Structure 1
Amino acid sequence: MISPITLDALRTLDAIERRHSFAAAAEELYRVPSAVSYTINKLEEDLGVALFDRSRRKAELTAIGRLVLEQGRQILKATEELTALARQAAQGWEVELRICIDSVLSCAPVYDLIEAFQRIQPKTEIRLSEEVLGGSWDALNDGRCDLVIGAEGAAPAAGFAVHPLGEVPFVFAVAAGHPLTQLPMPLPASAIHDYPTVIVADSSRHLPVRSSGLLDGRSRIIVPTIEHKIAAQCRGLGVGYLPRHRITQELAEGRLALLTLDTPRPPEGISIAWQRSNTGKGLKWFVDQLKHMRFYADGRGLTKMQSPSTPKV
């Protein structure tokens, strides 16, 4: 059954209620008052209900009329949003942009980018997700995200565009007062065999999982993110490697202590990555901004690249 409630009828009803008269609504809609009255009378006739109480000097909405108006305004708003989204998509802007942040990075720099992006394109919905190790590549390969920030290692397949951000140094950390802090440095691998390792689980669903910083032959505590790993190690539940830039506060407050192993872990290269076939304007904007950023191992993390100092004359 085709509904007699048309968008034109809803706009007319909305204008009458806002302008408080049929005549004023007609002026707003660039119609003659008789055309406005006809639209409402036809709607009432087709619905078989009275939308206005005309027994008074001034026509007022009935309870049913108020219901139709309130629900109708939601329809009008949804229609306006759909129109804007259609025009937005036609111009190349994404309706939704999905950004995956690898757990090794903090989200703070990405929030700054999103704030700047909203000022130029507020209609694109941003969806953030967090993945670990191979999970970032898996999300991109599987179509669960459009852009990865902080992807570790090399791309697992062709078709990805990749831009390096830098290298993340990892340090071996334990809770302050841990028995290992009483031993001479550097520690041999055998010295830590009696203590559990806190491991962040690879979040990959389809691609082969990656291991990172595993110390074999030991009991393990498996957590979902770097944030959970930091919290577990601060409580002394286990030991393990952590990204140096993520634990500056814990070190400053004395909740974690750094130890030196006789075989240190090498830094991990991280990148941004996206599908080459994706030509969305929102994706391009984020990629362009990120190409002017770099990961700094001195504690600043991911931030804008520093301009080279001007040589002295």
Structure 2
Amino acid sequence: MKISLELIEMLDAIDRHGSFSAAAEALYRVPSAISHAVAKLENDLGTQLFVREGRRATLNEAGRTLLGEGRHLLRTAGELERRVQRIASGWEAELRIALDAIIPVERLYPLLERFYAAGHGTQIRLTHEVLGGTWDALATDRADLVIGAPGDMPARAGIASRQLLPDTRFVFAVPPGHPLASWEGPIPDSELRRYRAIVIADTSTELDARTVGLLEGQNVLRIPDIRSKLTAQLAGLGIGHLPYWLAAPEIAAGRLVEKTVVAQRPTLPLNLAWQNRHVGKALSWFLAALNDETTRAEMLLGM
């Protein structure tokens, strides 16, 4: 057989990370091994799978078809492997936890320390997702547990959720030198639309991508994470809302000026969500821990 699960994992990594070298780093391989494996697969199949432009590699139509079907195989194989391991011990070999980008990963560290101290042996993998990407991570089996999934749960079987926080605190802020810094009173949409919006790109791969606070016709700069959004706004590259916990120190230091807008940012509750088709002991441990009011308060302080 010309196509193996290992090769599909390589294609998936290249697609997610944008280049052979970045995929090699993510898979703990040397770039030459990735290049050689892909070249051999293309030769065996008799067709190119990528459009190569400098260091970037983008799947062509044939490559997208192969990866789209291949991801289903990866999920099936991964689920089979985890099911066997759970049957044997009840504790997952690995628990994949995704956090929404607005939750700083260090907020989870005290909880991880408690989990590791108990010596359960489950490996933990942490990732960040954005907006609809949190729900998508569960729907496409990239995560077992999501902390901070925003908004409403999609109509998908096998997913359960409960609310963590009814609303998150966001502020609209610009650097002191920005034209909007001197605007008196709430800023209307007509004025906001004149300036580029800085947004974090939704990480959905199958579910519909979501956007928050983006005006129709507004120029946009999409960046990869919440701290990059902050630095882009500090640099004057665009405007947008920021989580209060992230913006407050910059406002206090005078590097940002908080402003009000006429159309306030929509309220988005944050949810705890998980795959309920297979709840192992590690997932149950985290669900119980995150049901504790004190633990949630510590994690969500200032949000």
Settle same-fold status: TM greater than 0.5.
Answer: yes
Q: TM-score scaled by structure 2?
A: 0.67
Structure 2 residue aligned with 1:195: 195
Of 130, 136, 139, the residue aligned with 1:138 is 136
TM superposition shift of 1:87: 9.0
Q: Report SS of the residue matched to 1:228.
A: helix
Larger Rg: 1
CA distance in 1, matches of 2:280, 2:94: 10
- Are the counterparts in 2 of residues 100 and 149 from structure 1 also a CA contact under 8 Å? yes
Structure 1 residues 268, 214: CA separation in 2 closer, same or farther (over 3 Å shift)?
same
CA distance in 2, matches of 1:288, 1:295: 11
Instruction: Spell out, residue by residue over 1:231-284, the C-alpha distance to the aligned partner (whole angstroms, 9 max, x if none).
Output: 111111100111222222222222211111111113210111011122211111
CA distance in 2, matches of 1:88, 1:238: 48
Structure 1 residues 125, 219: CA separation in 2 closer, same or farther (over 3 Å shift)?
same
- Are the counterparts in 1 of residues 86 and 280 from structure 2 also a CA contact under 8 Å? no
CA distance in 1, matches of 2:107, 2:141: 24
Structure 1 residue aligned with 2:179: 179
Q: Report SS of the residue matched to 2:91.
A: coil
CA distance in 2, matches of 1:95, 1:194: 51
- Are the counterparts in 2 of residues 147 and 283 from structure 1 also a CA contact under 8 Å? yes
Q: 2:239 is matched by which residue type in structure 1? A: V
CA distance in 1, matches of 2:182, 2:85: 65
TM superposition shift of 1:175: 1.5
Structure 1 residue aligned with 2:100: 102
CA distance in 1, matches of 2:85, 2:177: 61
- Are the counterparts in 1 of residues 132 and 208 from structure 2 also a CA contact under 8 Å? yes
2:268 matches 1:268 = yes
Structure 1 residues 117, 89: CA separation in 2 closer, same or farther (over 3 Å shift)?
farther
Structure 1 residues 260, 283: CA separation in 2 closer, same or farther (over 3 Å shift)?
same
CA distance in 2, matches of 1:154, 1:278: 22
2:236 matches 1:233 = no
Q: Report SS of the residue matched to 2:269.
A: strand
CA distance in 2, matches of 1:267, 1:121: 39
CA distance in 2, matches of 1:135, 1:150: 11
Q: Report SS of the residue matched to 1:116.
A: helix
Structure 1 residues 121, 176: CA separation in 2 closer, same or farther (over 3 Å shift)?
farther
CA distance in 2, matches of 1:151, 1:173: 24
Structure 1 residues 295, 176: CA separation in 2 closer, same or farther (over 3 Å shift)?
farther
Q: Report SS of the residue matched to 2:173.
A: strand
The CA RMSD over aligned residues, in Å, is 2.2
TM superposition shift of 1:301: 5.8
Q: Trace 1:145-160 onto structure 2 (pairs within 5 A).
A: 145-156=143-154, 157-160=156-159
Q: Indicate the larger mover: 257-266 or 201-210.
A: 257-266
TM superposition shift of 1:206: 0.5
Instruction: Spell out, residue by residue over 1:155-188, the C-alpha distance to the aligned partner (whole angstroms, 9 max, x if none).
Output: 1123211110111122211112311111111111
Q: Report SS of the residue matched to 1:287.
A: helix
Q: Indicate the larger mover: 251-260 or 125-134.
A: 251-260
Instruction: Spell out, residue by residue over 1:216-237, the C-alpha distance to the aligned partner (whole angstroms, 9 max, x if none).
Output: 2221111112221111111111
- Are the counterparts in 2 of residues 188 and 262 from structure 1 also a CA contact under 8 Å? yes
CA distance in 1, matches of 2:299, 2:276: 27
CA distance in 1, matches of 2:285, 2:203: 27
Q: Report SS of the residue matched to 2:264.
A: coil
State percent identity of aligned pairs: 42
TM superposition shift of 1:122: 5.0
- Are the counterparts in 2 of residues 159 and 275 from structure 1 also a CA contact under 8 Å? yes
5+ unaligned residues in a row in structure 1: which ranges? 1-85, 304-313
Structure 1 residue aligned with 2:121: 123
Structure 1 residues 202, 88: CA separation in 2 closer, same or farther (over 3 Å shift)?
closer
